Every structure is written in C-alpha cells, then in structure tokens.
Structure 1
Amino acid sequence: MKELMDRLTRSVGTITAPDARAQAEAAAYLDKLTKPPGSLGKLESLAIQLAGITGTIKPSFKKKAVVVMAGDHGVCEEGVSAFPSEVTPQMVMNFLNGGAAVNVLARQAGADVLCVDIGVAADLSHERLLSRKINKGTKNIAKGPAMTRAEAEQAIMTGAEVAAELYSHGTRLFVTGEMGIGNTTPSAAVFAVLSGKPPAEVVGRGTGVSDERLMHKIRVVEQAITVNRPMAEDPVDVLAKVGGYEIGGLAGLILGAAAKGCPVVIDGFISSAAALIAAAICPESRSYMIASHHSKERGHALLLQALELSPMLHMDMRLGEGTGGVLCLHMIEAACRIMSEMATFESAGISGGEI
C-alpha cells in the first residue's frame, strides 16, 4: 500500500491535518455572534470544521461538483438486485442528459454534476461523459475476486486524478455520487470485512428486494467473504476482492479532494463504504469528510459510526446518486453565511453576549 500512497502523493499532494488555529478562531467568533453559544448546533460544528479545512473562518465555495462514479457488478448474476444491470448505462445517460434526481437537486444547489464511466459494462459515448473505464464491470465476487489489485489501485488513482482535474478548474467543494446496479452488495461486503461485523447486520435491501431475496443477498455476501478471504488490514486488498470500480473511484476522489484541502460531502451507504476505504488508507482524510445524511439502507448508521461521522440530515432517503449529499450543500451554504453575514453583539450594539 506504500507504493499506492507514494503515487497518490505525487499525483495530488499530501493530506495534512486541519488548521487548528483557524478552528479555534472560528469557535471564538461563533461565540461573539448574536445568539446563545452553541445554539445553532451542527451548523456551528460544521462552520468550525470548514474553517479547519480551508484555513479561513469565512470560507466561500463558488464552484461545487457532484462526481457520480458509475460501474457494473458481476455479482448481479446472483440475483441480488431488483433491477437488471442494463439500468446502469441507461441511468448514466439520464445523468448526462440532466434528468435524474441528482441533476434536479444539484441545479437547485448550484452544483455541477459530472458522471465518470469507471466500469460500466457497456460502450458509452457522450460529450459530457468522463470516460475512465477500467473494465466492463467487476467479476462475480461470489465466485472470485472482483478485480485485480492493479485494477483496484487504478480505480483509486482515477478518482484522485478526477479530483485534481476538477480542482484545477476551480472546484473547491466535492460531493460523492454513484451509479451501479447491485452495488450495495459489494459495499456491504467491504464494510463487513473492514469492520468485522457479520453480513446479517450490514446487508440491506438496496433497490428494495423482498425478505426472501434479502436473506439470499446476505448469503451471497457471506460467500464472497469466504471465497475471497480479503485481508481487513489491507483496504486495497478488500477493494480488489469484494469491492467495485466506482467504490474505489470514490475512495480516490475523497483522498484527492482532501489532498487539495477541499471538503468532500459523503452521500449514502455506497459512498460511506468508499469513505471507509479512504479512511483506512489515510486516517487523516476523515477530517475532510462531511456526512450528508442517514440513509435508510440497513448498516448505514453503523458505517457512519465506524467513520466517526455525524450526519446532517435524516430524510429517510436511499436513492444514492449523490442526492443526499447535494441536499447537504444547503447546510454548508448556511454555515458559511452565518460566519460571513451574521452580526456580532458588538456590531449590533446588543448588550449581553455572556450567557
């Protein structure tokens, strides 16, 4: 894994600790604003986190991007999804044409949507598609490894390079998104291995499978872990054996954004599994992550606990795509505006301030 970290460092830079001075200044400034200390709850902790990431107590994010990584999964052969694999390329075109839920919500939030083909099992062509295909879908993890280790490293590097490319064009705030029929299965497998939790606790319904198919899905994840024997102490090995190309791509995107000193909003279950890989590769990257929401997918609460992240929203969502992450952009904007626009007790001429 050292070789991968060296490549990442050369490509996108080093991930450093947040600016403690800026965090302290933000906390002190928040207590000067015309409100009781701590009364804005998570908005205040978010403002302090953003200060630490950016090095300024009044950050502004003019250019925001949702990066939707798309890939297919051989494990769909096992009947783990309510939808066929053909939906993946169809949805990719929907993203590119602006018709998906994430497009609608991103337009409202003033964010760009970029779709990356990192492993779709179809030949796709579109002027707005970022084509970074590693292979046409992963192998069936119930029968063998999802990909080679080299492919896993390539997926991570691809995500990091996409982050660096977007940064060079002005993006300063990233949101993780994904598309891949069947991808809750490898995500659950990744989480189960890295956390040591039994699949029965972390495997959920994904696209809405029946009770019978849910039990089958749990058995498939158990089989994948038994067959492949991924090493929990090596996150790249886990990704290669039971993961997915888009999961690796998102892990790389998170690392790449952190290396550029940018916050990255984590969407739902699949994105959080990718975040767990990123955190296992570089623990400091966790400081740059913002958990957008608590998905209804079983296991997501446990995954967020493993990441030591507290979600901003509880909306009973489980769509993915980056939809929960985009909604969180409004909370980030609110935190930034509190710091830049709210009056202090002194400027407003209000007595008190020590409550």
Structure 2
Amino acid sequence: MKPINESVISRVKLNHQPLVKKKVREKKWEAPIVGYLFISPWLLGLFLLTLYPMIQSFYFSFTDYSLLEAPNWVGMDNYQKIFMEDKLFYKSLTITILFVVISVPLKLITGLLMAMFLNQKIKGIAFYRTLVYLPSLIGTSVAVAILWSNIFGSEGLVNSVLALFGISGTNWIGSPDTALGTLILLFVWQFGSSMVIFLAGLKQISPELYEASAVDGASKIRQFFSITLPMISPVLLFNLVLQTIGAFQMFTQAFVITKGGPIQSTYMFTLYLYERAFAGFEMGYASALAWILLVIIAIFTALIFATSKFWVFYATEGGK
C-alpha cells in the first residue's frame, strides 16, 4: 500500500480547522441568545413593571404632580414638608413600626412551634400540615379581611363564644385599645409560609446530634437552644427579613377592616400613602412617602444583617 504523503495530511488538517472554529464560535453565541429568549418575559416585566415605574416614582417625588396635570418640579419641597410639617407621617410611621415589632416575632415564634410539631413522625401528618397551611393559601385577600371583621365585630363570632360563658364582649375592631391587636392577630394567623420554610430547615438537622446530646443527658429544652436554634438560624434570618418587609407593606387588612380607625389607631404608613396618592391626588407627595418607606425598610434590613453575625450559625463556615 502506498503511504500517504504527510503534506497531504497537514493540508487536510488546515482545511478542517476553520470549520471547527466556526462551529465552536456559533455554539458560543447560540447559548446566550437562547437563554435570553427564555427569560425575555421576566426581563420585560423587570424593566417595564419594576425599574421604569421606580425611576418615574423617584422623579415624581421631586415634583408637584396630581395625575391630572403635568408634573411641576419642586425639588426637595415634598421631603421637607414630610419631615418638618407632616404630623400624620410620624403618627403612621410609629403605628407601623409598633405593628412590625410586635407581629413579626409572634409570627416567627408561632411558625417555628408549628413546624416543630409537624416535624414529628405521627400518623396523618400530611393531613395536619395541609390543614395548618390552609390559612396562608387564602392570602391577604379582601375576603379574609371581611371574614376577620365579622369574627371580631361587636356581634361577631368571638363575642358569641364569650356570651356562652356569660362574658360581655366588646367591639374589638371599633375600640382604639384592641383594633391594632386584631390586625396583629390576623398577620400572625397567616404563619404558613414561614412555617414551611422552618419545616424545611428542621429536616436538614441530623438526628445524630439529638441522639448524642440525649446520651450526654441534655433535656429537650437544652436541645432546642443548643442544637435546633443554632442549626436553623440561617433559615430564621431568611424568615425574619421576609416577614419584616411584608409587615411594613401591610395594607389590605388595615384598609378593609378598620380604614385606619378608630381614632387613627391603625393608620398604617401604606394606608396614609394610599390616601395621599388616590384620595388627595398628590402623586408627587405620595412618591416621596414611598421612597422614604423604601429607605426605612432598607435600614431595618441592614440592621438585621449587621446583627446576624452574633446569632446566625453557618456550619459550612465553621460556625461563624
């Protein structure tokens, strides 16, 4: 057999090299294009429904804008009026912070306790998990708010039950002393989302840790504070941030159930923002309030993350 000339082989290799490079080059471009096509609906939503309205809102916060006329640039006047003259701003902010400080810890404690109960190996546990999570499936809808009004009204379910024991109830929603408490109770009642996240965290804890501590004589309480809490502390941090942001944005319950009353005892910040925007048609002023709320939420979130290094345990980082 006649040997193949080496020069012929080298020419064949050279002729094929551009084709290989071209194919590789086409594949490198093809993957990003396909990826962007798949996420294009999300990108459109991000730019058109989130970023663009945020930029507009930031611009309107420096204007006098009523939706009916063109915005008029006023500079820092809206912010100056809010901080220097607006008493309702401070009142609504105080009520909102009080709501957050009380409702968020109660919701997290309730969610964690229920998650620990539903983490047990008992018969029918799937049914109990579904039953407990059901209130959160309903969401913060108007229907739930109306239901809550009927339960805690002067002739509601709570007073009917108290009457069976000869106790005269009160109008829980119509009293300034208890109205905010009913909203807090509603917020805590919908603990399902935080419970599910806690439950996922509890399932990641190795049973060997509890077995070893039991051999050393640790009680259930000691196991909870020495094993359970440290191991789920990252999950606790996640839930704390989410629930804090959600509590600051609470609107539907206050709007439907109490409308800020009685005597503005439930006058939440978001409700005040809404009335300025859509009742007073002060869209520029309301935009300034919205950006102040954004900064306040960012401050609270930053404080949570700043303090997390003292109580969050990361096993992958040696407990730091």
Q: TM-score, normalised by structure 2?
A: 0.28
Rg bigger for which structure? 2
> Which has more strand, going by share of residues?
1
TM-score of the two chains, using structure 1 as the length reference = 0.26
